Amino acid sequence: MTITVNLQKHINDSYGIHMQELAPLAFSEKVAIITNPTVADLHLEKLLKLVTAPSVKVVKIPDGEAYKTLETIETILNELFEQRLDRRSTLIAFGGGVVGDMTGFCASIYQRGINFVQIPTTLLAMVDASVGGKTGIDNKFGKNLIGSFYQPKAVYIDPFWLSTLPDREFGAGVAEIIKIAVTLDEEFFCWLESADLKNHEAIKEAIARSIELKADIVAQDEKESGLRQVLNYGHTFAHVIELEGNYTEFLHGESVAIGMVMANNLAVNTGSLSHKDAARIKHLLEKYDLPTSFSTSDPEQFYDSFFLDKKSHSGKITFVLPRTIGDYVFVDDAKKEWVLEAIKGE
Amino acid sequence: MTITVNLQKHINDSYGIHMQELAPLAFSEKVAIITNPTVADLHLEKLLKLVTAPSVKVVKIPDGEAYKTLETIETILNELFEQRLDRRSTLIAFGGGVVGDMTGFCASIYQRGINFVQIPTTLLAMVDASVGGKTGIDNKFGKNLIGSFYQPKAVYIDPFWLSTLPDREFGAGVAEIIKIAVTLDEEFFCWLESADLKNHEAIKEAIARSIELKADIVAQDEKESGLRQVLNYGHTFAHVIELEGNYTEFLHGESVAIGMVMANNLAVNTGSLSHKDAARIKHLLEKYDLPTSFSTSDPEQFYDSFFLDKKSHSGKITFVLPRTIGDYVFVDDAKKEWVLEAIKGE
């Protein structure tokens, strides 16, 4: 099946997400595959058999969020210049979210923009990074603070790659699926409560449903000026958790799981979510061994870090809170004391 | 007067170029002015009296093409993060082409894109960098090889700033004006032959006409997929001249002047331009003391460098050659020996 991401304001940038066993990909111009050593060891041989082009260069970047830096971007770009890739060349992102975000960013600034396609190999990248055109890198001020909105020409999702994914990373992907369900689709949430996502058919269905729901939001608000903020449920907290953990303690999806619980605390305190629904969400997260608590040494500093978030402006921060399961509300006037309580898990 | 740059495919990105004495500019959110020490010493005081915002930060970057690097971009971005600029903030590019190109690039990648406006202070930036949305930086492989297409929200052109511009830089700006006239408008070229651009009214008219002609081209081909290549007349050669001169020997406009003469050599050899018209163009360049020759130590290497140009693909390079004055032709099958002769001035 193919899900089309329709971008209403930039219709030429619309693209398809193809969910099927990966078929041969033929390019008429030079190609560079950006990947990391872990994915390359497991799957590169298979991919190279499927990709044909006048020239195929493989660029391996170190594995992990810690390397999602401007320095790595410069290394990749230099490799592309060495290979004399030109404006008609294509980059292939072959890996998880880090590889996808950095490849997309490189594609957006190499010679002012070249084509790229995504072949995500992690569950998180399949359900999240594959839709929305967000590219970027981290710096000492926070996560994804430098980047661009830049759409791939196509995304190829083959659940086959998940066969080698560690359980912890699988769970991190499930966190984003749960995030989508909680805010946008009660029926999907109920289905998740009873489904076993380790089952091949079930995970395919969960990926497809998550992508459809996210694509629908992105289509309406490509550049995150309003509606799209709903996708940040849990993320405002998660970004700070990742920063405090130096991007190494938790996987992104794990931080989002904790962030959702913190957002739920705030939602319960402000009356938009019942204790019962908050407990159901937490229970579903625990089913996939996701962490649901985090103790910060300094809640005040944690709070202060919100204001470096891209979504903050004029000293205000907008929280996305569930309003029952399957619905949400934007709150931009949460009192500091409520937020501190939510952070502390009170 | 205001000239509107209409971008047909991205109509929301259209913007106005305002040609008048700079009026007060009021912003409701944070602002950062990016400039260099030379412009700041001469004119910053005046600008600061005209700009009002909740917070105005000035970021000075070193003067000159040699600093148009990823390293300088990182320095600027860090200053913006320190000031906690957010997505509603605005960057103001106050300077020449280097300041404009880097400010635009920073605006395009800071938090995935914020607003910027341009207040060009050099003639080159007024007629060239102000139209077209090209942002970028150089690296060891060449000029403007990393960057983005990103439109300003507005451009404010006040010829007042030219009063302090050194003659050599003025001439470099005139080179781009001549480039536009040669390829697109014979009447404008004839007018230039008799005009004195040192005259205040004449330079205003020349700037406005150049912008109108360029804006019309950009409107039709925002991302340089075809027609817009006409603006590269002289530039294919100029980029290599600048690279060989380490970006210090010639100003950009001076390299373009030499590049136009080289392109004319090729045009005469291939029969698209008469000796007489080639001589008229050279004569007009000399009127503004622009260089018209360059001896490379290694014409073969000069030729080879073309293929790193962004406009090159699949080992082909497209030359823009004048076909009489006021018209042009794209040539992508020029024999190597002809090109070598054009480079050597034969």
CATH code of the domain covering residue B241: 1.20.1090.10
Last residue of a domain, one of A164, A196, A227: A164
Query: Could you say which of A232, A264, A265, A269 is catalytic?
Result: A232
Number of neighbouring beta carbons within 10 Å of residue B162: 21
Regarding whether A219 and A124 lie in a shared domain, the answer is no
Q: What confidence category does residue A143 fall into, taking pLDDT thresholds of 50, 70 and 90?
A: confident
Chain B interface test: which of A30, A79, A82, A109 (most B C-beta within 10 Å): A109
- Using CA coordinates, name the residue in chain A closest to B110: A146
pLDDT at position B245 = 83
Query: Could you say which of A65, A179, A235, A264 is catalytic?
Result: A235
Last residue of a domain, one of B164, B195, B217: B164
Contact criterion met (CB below 8 Å) for B337 and B279: no
Strand, helix or coil at A132?
Answer: coil
Residue A129 sits in which domain range? Answer: 2-164
Which two three-digit tokens encode residue A284?
A: 């579903």
User: What residues of chain A, 307 to 326, have a C-beta less than 8 Å from chain B?
Assistant: 307-308, 310-314
The answer to whether the CB atoms of A148 and B113 lie below 8 A apart is yes
Q: Give helix then strand counts, H and E, for chain A.
A: 13, 13
pLDDT at position A101 = 96
Chain B interface test: which of A72, A86, A138, A222 (most B C-beta within 10 Å): A86
pLDDT at position B258 = 97
The answer to whether the CB atoms of A146 and B314 lie below 8 A apart is no
Query: Could you say which of A169, A252, A265, A269 is catalytic?
Result: A252
The answer to whether the CB atoms of B81 and A145 lie below 8 A apart is yes
* Residues in chain B within 8 Å Cβ distance of A134: 112
* Residues in chain A within 8 Å Cβ distance of B110: 145-146
User: What residues of chain A, 225 to 284, have a C-beta less than 8 Å from chain B?
Assistant: none
pLDDT at position A311 = 60
Confidence check: pLDDT of B87 > 80: yes
Cβ pairs bridging A and B (under 8 Å)? 99
Query: Could you say which of A239, A242, A265, A269 is catalytic?
Result: A239
Regarding whether A250 and A199 lie in a shared domain, the answer is yes
Confidence check: pLDDT of A312 > 70: no
Confidence check: pLDDT of B225 > 90: no
Regarding whether A325 and A277 lie in a shared domain, the answer is yes
User: CA-to-CA distance for B57 and B75, rounded, in angstroms?
Assistant: 14
pLDDT at position B317 = 87
Among positive and negative, which fits the CA dihedral B232, B205, B18, B49? positive
Which two three-digit tokens encode residue B219?
A: 């409107």
Last residue of a domain, one of A110, A135, A164: A164
Q: A282-301 pLDDT, tens per residue?
A: 999 999 999 999 988 899 99
User: CA-to-CA distance for A346 and A269, rounded, in angstroms?
Assistant: 9
Strand, helix or coil at A58?
Answer: strand
Regarding whether A129 and A57 lie in a shared domain, the answer is yes
Whether A252 is catalytic is: yes
DSSP A158-194: -GGGGGG--HHHHHHHHHHHHHHHHHH-HHHHHHHHH
CATH code of the domain covering residue A18: 3.40.50.1970
| A109 → closest Cβ in B86, B113, B148 | B148
Taking alpha carbons only, the member of A103, A91, A256 closest to residue A180 is A256
Regarding whether B62 and B17 lie in a shared domain, the answer is yes
- Using CA coordinates, name the residue in chain B closest to A74: B70
Burial class for B236, CB neighbours closer than 10 Å (0-12, 13-18, 19+): buried
Confidence check: pLDDT of A130 > 70: yes
Chain A interface test: which of B111, B222, B318 (most A C-beta within 10 Å): B111
The answer to whether the CB atoms of A77 and B139 lie below 8 A apart is yes
- Total domains, chain B: 2
pLDDT at position B312 = 62
pLDDT at position A137 = 96
* Residues in chain A within 8 Å Cβ distance of B78: 139, 141
Confidence check: pLDDT of B308 > 90: no
Q: A178-197 pLDDT, tens per residue?
A: 999 999 999 999 999 999 99
Beta bridge partners of A34: A59, A93
Regarding whether B130 and B229 lie in a shared domain, the answer is no
pLDDT at position B141 = 86
Regarding whether B156 and B57 lie in a shared domain, the answer is yes
Q: Which H or E element spans position A138?
A: strand A134-139
Regarding whether B223 and B82 lie in a shared domain, the answer is no
Q: What are the distances in angstroms from CA B1 to CA B59, B95, B211, B238?
A: 30, 21, 12, 32
Q: B280-305 pLDDT, tens per residue?
A: 999 999 999 999 999 888 999 999 88
The answer to whether the CB atoms of B147 and A12 lie below 8 A apart is no
Q: What is the mean pLDDT of chain A?
A: 92
Regarding whether A195 and A101 lie in a shared domain, the answer is no
Q: For chain B, how long is the longest CA-to-CA vector?
A: 61
Q: Give helix then strand counts, H and E, for chain B.
A: 13, 13
The answer to whether the CB atoms of B136 and A86 lie below 8 A apart is no
Q: What angle do CA A25, A29, A32 make, to 5 degrees?
A: 70
Number of neighbouring beta carbons within 10 Å of residue A275: 9
Which two three-digit tokens encode residue A326?
A: 């399957």
- Using CA coordinates, name the residue in chain B closest to A78: B141
Regarding whether B252 and B204 lie in a shared domain, the answer is yes
Regarding whether A53 and A34 lie in a shared domain, the answer is yes
Strand, helix or coil at B128?
Answer: helix
Buried b / exposed e across B308-332, counting CB within 10 Å, b at 16+?
bbbbbbeeebbbbbbbebbebbebe
Q: What are the distances in angstroms from CA A25 to CA A28, A31, A157, A205?
A: 10, 11, 13, 24
Whether A49 contacts chain B with CB within 8 A: no
For strand B154-157 and strand B15-19, is the pairing parallel, antiparallel, or unpaired?
parallel
Chain A interface test: which of B71, B105, B112 (most A C-beta within 10 Å): B112
Strand, helix or coil at B23?
Answer: coil
Q: What are the distances in angstroms from CA A80 to CA A8, A86, A134?
A: 32, 9, 21
Regarding whether B42 and B24 lie in a shared domain, the answer is yes
Q: Which amino acid is at A228?
A: R
